[in-house]
Amino acid sequence: MKRRTLSALAAIAAAASFVFSGSAWAQGKYVHANNSGYDNLDPHVVFDVGRAASRINFYDGLLRWVDNPPKMIPWLAESYTASDDGKTWTFKLKKGVKFHDGSEFTADDVLYSIERMLATKKGASSLFLPIIMPGSTKAPDKYTVVFTLKEPSAIFLSTVPEILIVNSQLVKKNEKDGDWGQAWLAKNVASTGSYKLKRYDPAIGFVGERFKDHFAGWGPKAFDEIEFRTVLETNTRVQGLIKGDIQGTDGYLPYDQILRLKEAKNVQILEQESMRVFYFNIHNGRGPMSDVHFRRALAYAFDYDGFVKDILKGAVSRNAGPNPNNLWGSPKDLKPYTYDLEKAKAELALVKEPIRPITIGTLAGFSETEQAATLLQNGAKKIGIDIKIESAPWPVIQTRMQDREKNYDMVPLWKSTYYVDPNNWVGEMYASRYIGTRNTSYINDPEMDKWLDEALAISDQDKRSVLYEKAVTKATDQAFGIYVYNTRWYGPYAANVAGIRFSPIGSGQDMRWAYYK
Amino acid sequence: MRRLEMILSRLVWFVPTMAGLVVIVFLISNVIPTDPVKVLLGENATPAQIEAMRVKLGYDQPLWVQLARHFHDIVSGNLGTSIYSQRPISEDLATRLPATLELTLTAIIVSVALGIPLGVISALKRNSLLDHILRVVSVSGLAIAAFWLALLLQFFFAMKLGVAPLNSRIDGFGPTPVTGLMIIDSMLDWDMESLHSALSHIALPALTLALPAAATIVRFTRAGVLDVINSNHVLYQRAMGLPPGLIVWKYVLRNALISTVTQIGLIFGVLVTNAVIVETVFDWPGMGTFAVQSILQSDHKAIIGFTIWIGALIVIVNLLVDITHSFIDPRGSR
């Protein structure tokens, strides 16, 4: 009986050793754990920061953002020119560029790609729908594309990298019932991009295989394969990196997790100042927030130092206004608000409207927004303003913010980089043309509109900068929002990963430059 | 004959049960203050884009029209398109169903393999130290929250001991899918490396689900065995001098397991519920993670689709349990 028991135990031990053993990654393969799902690979559908990796690594644009501060470099286009009135943009394309299936990239592919974006009206299309009419883009020859805008647009060039080029012939072959190939392109890739799709499972993620014939060439040690997996749980991503199962994860982890990773010997944290401003969005279209003195009182009631230095351990940079510190278009001497309850009380005394309790909506799962709201609640209570905090998932917050009646009084959130231009921040936040979409402060200020609209219509950066500086100064002085910090990006990678080129657009997930030391 | 009637009766009840489920979930998902169209198009969408998409997707219609259309779609086998993935929801769910089934079935097998023998031992050694220990452990097992147990197992086995993978279902993407069950497909492919990987990856999530379930089974089996062991027919077998092992195996277990089998059917529902959390922690690409993503994205149709599939699965499993029950205890089906 005893021998049988021992034999059984030995069998269990053998089975356990078979079941439990570590895993290893192949040489030249990079595995990244991402906090969003890769449910769709269509580059004209996906436009959120969380799913940037499939867009950047599988697809190319005419221009491309790299590095920090971001530089826009020619990519599928070799050059471009603009007409004097800023309405006509001519792009000369690189010759001899191959798609993954070996066919040649031409101007027809650019035309198809922009028409597809305008027709499907998803993803980044909202950047182009107001300024490009369907059918207005032309190809005078095989390697030239001419965009004719409805009106001059100073931001058009900085949004061109978002026009990602698909293989028109291949997509057309897979169109079904006039769907512009959406069903097919959701799980296939048709591009010239750095990596070819090798495996894809919407539930897991994707594997890309290096496209050796990519027109931009390759460094000697570039990854042969990249694998991006969905791992929703933050703790699992962090532990996976420490354990060595993955070689990288998202760069906006909670700071306590960054500190944990900094202690791991096999992990490196790359640091860069990003362009992601954390601020309180204030509903200026409703009393008492419509009163400048009330807004100023709130701005003086927030403990900036306590938040930045104590809660966030100095992991971020104080940002005085709506534009990120490291971008042009902000006055160098912009004076930030400080935590000063006496000034807050003085401002509050000037408020003419009746004071009422206000509601802050915080983003469930984003503890920083809850911490910031609680800190403001504490400061406001000391000057006699009651604040109620409601937590909800981002889709709930977003829906309510875009509805003037249902919008919260305040929402702490981040304004990320979709294109590198001050219009991405102060313009979209406070120009009335964006009310209900990106202007969820419901600011409708003719003076702001004059500056911001003019800055959109002229191309001279010096002149534009002056206009944006005026707008930023007014937004800060009038406390259209409470501006807190500009995010630092803490890119967590395995210690042997090198060559990461962080850019605020793409958040360090452009893997064509990276390699193992 | 009674058995056939019972099966038919259950099948007839399936329809109103599922209809009720659809109505409840539909109404709840519409109470949530989100606009799925705005979520779909993102913060950059213009009001015109939002309105056009709302009309296209039928969200401009009154609620009862949307519900009627939804019923029509479901009866036609069309659960709609996910606003997040832009794919048919049935396709998304079908892709993920095998992962959830593999996990929950493995957890059930583990929980039964642990729970029944321990329940029998606990009953036979009633009031002994072993019985007390098993009772304390089973009560603790019932009290432990799935996500906490998952984190503990990850920390101990994956991080400290390094004997199990931390997360995911398999290294890479696994063998060519035939059944969608990685363990079975690895064996069909005769791919021992994948089999090894699949077994090692399923160990911790299956244990997380199985331990609380095993605790329930221990308690029900123990109670069942104690109930039967003192009955007259068992006393009679003892008096006849039959060996204790034979009595337990042949005369006690069959009667004692009736309530346990019923419980296993209910446990399946609990396992599927817990799988939503466990799959998220272990990055298990099943229906649970799909549900979490759908909720986070306010993908109403996907949430409804998930609930319908899970509801149907639980109803079917309970029907199977009833059928099994009728074989174990034929009294009710004669």
Within 8 A of B82 by CB-CB distance, chain A residues are: 39
ipTM above 0.85, yes or no: no
Q: Where are the alpha helices (DSSP H) in A73-201?
A: 107-120, 156-159, 168-173, 182-185
- pLDDT digit string, tens, across residues A403-420: 899 899 999 999 988 889
In chain B, count H helices and then E strands. Answer: 14, 0
| Tokens at A427, concatenated | 């313009």
Position A264 scores a pLDDT of 94
Q: For A94, which DSSP code?
A: P
Q: Where is pLDDT greater, at B315 or A173? A: A173
Q: What is the pTM of this model?
A: 0.80
- Mean local confidence (pLDDT), A192-208: 93
pLDDT at B72 over 80: yes
Looking at residue A93, its pLDDT comes to 98
Residue range B207-211: average pLDDT?
93
Q: How far apart are CA B99 and CA B109, in angstroms?
A: 15
Are A155 and A162 contacting, i.e. CB atoms less than 8 angstroms apart? no
Q: Which residue of A has its CA nearest to B87?
A: A183
Whether the predicted pLDDT of A4 surpasses 70: no
**Residue A187 — φ and ψ, nearest 5°?**
-130, 15
Min mean pLDDT across A289-303, A411-425, B80-94 is at B80-94
Residue A7 has pLDDT above 50, yes or no: no
Alpha-carbon distance values, A436 to A284, A338, A445 (Å): 13, 30, 15
Nearest CA in chain B to A121: B49
- Total residue count of chain A as it appears in this document: 517
Contact residues on chain B for A37, CB-CB shorter than 8 A:
84-85, 289, 293
Q: Which of A76, A78, A41, A66 is nearest to A163 (CA)?
A: A76
Residue B93, SS3 per DSSP = helix
CB–CB contact A243 B95 (8 Å): no
Does the distance separating the beta carbons of B199 and A201 come in below 8 Å?
no
Partners of A235 on chain B (C-beta within 8 Å) are: 151, 154, 281
Range in A471-475, B31-35, B61-65 the model is least confident about: B31-35
Can you tell me the distance from the alpha carbon of A329 to that of A426, in angstroms, rounded to the nearest whole number? 9
pLDDT at B287: 92
Choose the closest CB to B46 out of A22, A129, A365. Answer: A129
Mean pLDDT of B72-99: 85
Strands A138-141 and A317-318: unpaired
Among residues of chain A, what percentage have pLDDT more than 70? 95
CB A272 within 8 A of CB A491: yes
Instruction: Evaluate whether A110 touches A192 at the Cβ level (below 8 Å).
Output: no
Report DSSP state, residue A309.
I
CATH of domain B90-333: 1.10.3720.10
Taking the CB of residue B185, how many other CB atoms lie within 10 A of it?
Answer: 22
For β-strands A225-230 and A29-34, DSSP reports them as parallel
pLDDT at A106: 97
Distance CA(A120)–CA(A31), nearest Å, equals 32
Q: How far apart are CA A118 and CA A115, in angstroms?
A: 5
Q: How far is CA A231 from CA A32, A204, A205, A460, in A?
A: 9, 8, 9, 44
- How far from the centroid of its chain's Cα atoms is residue A54's Cα? 14
Give the pLDDT of residue B233: 84
Percent of chain B with pLDDT over 90: 17
What is the phi/psi pair of residue A78, to 5°? -95, -20
Read off the pLDDT band of B88 (50, 70, 90): confident
| Cβ–Cβ contact B275 with A under 8 A | no
Q: CB-based contact (8 Å) between B326 and chain A?
A: no
Q: Closest Cα partner for A282 from A491, A139, A441?
A: A441
Structure tokens at B82: 């996910």
CA–CA distance, A512 with A194 (Å, rounded to integer): 7
Distances (CA, A) of B264 to B214, B216, B271: 10, 9, 10
* Span A483-506, average pLDDT: 92
Q: Is B29 on the interface with A (CB under 8 A)?
A: no
pLDDT digits (tens, 9 = 90+) for A380-393: 999 999 999 998 87
Interface membership of B168 toward A (CB under 8 Å): yes
For B96, nearest residue in chain A (alpha carbons):
A203
Amino acid A9: pLDDT: 39
Q: Is A329 left (phi over 0), alpha (psi -120 to 50) or beta?
A: left
- Domain architecture of chain A: domains with CATH: 61-119+132-167 (3.90.76.10), 273-489 (3.10.105.10)
Q: How confident is the model at residue B44 (pLDDT cuts 50, 70, 90)?
A: low
List, for residues A390-403, the tens digit of each pLDDT value.
Answer: 988 777 888 889 88
Taking the C-alpha atoms of residue A489 and residue A492, their distance in angstroms, rounded to an integer, is 9
Give the span between the Cα atoms of B137 and B132, in whole angstroms. 9
A-chain CB neighbours of B280 within 8 Å are 232-233
In this structure, the number of other CB atoms found within 10 A of the CB of residue B226 comes to 16
pLDDT for residue A412: 97
* Mean pLDDT of the region B191-201: 91
Q: Is B6 on the interface with A (CB under 8 A)?
A: no
Q: Which residue has the higher pLDDT, B194 or A143?
A: A143
Reply yes or no on whether the pLDDT at A24 is more than 80. no
- Tokens 């452009």 sit at which residue? A510
Q: How close, in Å, is residue B169 to chain A by CA atoms? A: 9
* pLDDT tens digits for range A237-270: 999 999 999 999 988 888 889 999 999 999 999 9
How high is the pLDDT of residue B26?
A: 85
Is pLDDT at A1 greater than 80 in this prediction?
no
- The CA–CA distances, whole Å, from A476 to A336, A430, B136, B228 equal 8, 12, 62, 78
The answer, yes or no, to whether residue B83 has pLDDT greater than 90, is no
User: Which of A207, A232, A243 is closest, CB to CB, to B173?
Assistant: A207
Highest averaged pLDDT of the listed ranges A193-197, B74-78, B317-321: A193-197
DSSP three-state, residue A83:
coil
Looking at the predicted structure, is the pLDDT value of residue A15 above 70?
Answer: no
Q: What CA–CA distance (Å, rounded) separates B191 from B174?
A: 10
Instruction: List the single residue in A48, A199, A239 with the smallest CB-CB distance to B154.
Output: A239
- The yes-or-no verdict on residue A11 having pLDDT over 80 is no
Domain boundaries, chain B: 2-75, 90-333
Judged by CB atoms closer than 8 Å, whether chains meet at B293 and A22 is answered as: no
Query: Which one, of A481, A516, A29, lies nearest residue A277 by Cα?
Result: A481
Mean pLDDT for B243-271 is: 82
Mean pLDDT, chain B, whole residue set = 85
**Is residue A164 a contact partner of residue A44, using CB atoms and an 8 Å limit?**
yes
Indicate yes or no: CB of B85 within 8 angstroms of CB of A393.
Answer: no
User: What tokens were used for A371?
Assistant: 């911490």
Q: How many angstroms separate the CA atoms of B185 and B16, rounded?
A: 37
Question: What is the count of residue pairs from A and B with beta carbons less than 8 Å apart?
Answer: 173
Residue A239 touches partner B, C-beta closer than 8 Å: yes
User: Which residues are A304's β-sheet partners?
Assistant: none
Q: Would strands A88-93 and A138-141 be described as parallel, antiparallel, or unpaired?
A: unpaired
DSSP symbols for A265-280: TTEEEEEEEEEEEEEE
- Lookup result for tokens 């097998």: B109
Please give the single-letter amino acid code of residue A198. K
- B81/A contact by beta carbon, under 8 A: no
Question: pLDDT for A80-116, tens place per residue?
Answer: 999 988 899 999 999 999 999 999 999 999 999 999 9
Amino acid symbol at B33: P
Q: Is the pLDDT of residue B143 over 90?
A: no
Return the minimum-mean-pLDDT range out of A13-27, A345-359, B16-30, B146-160.
A13-27
Q: Tell me the pLDDT of chain A averaged across its residues.
A: 90
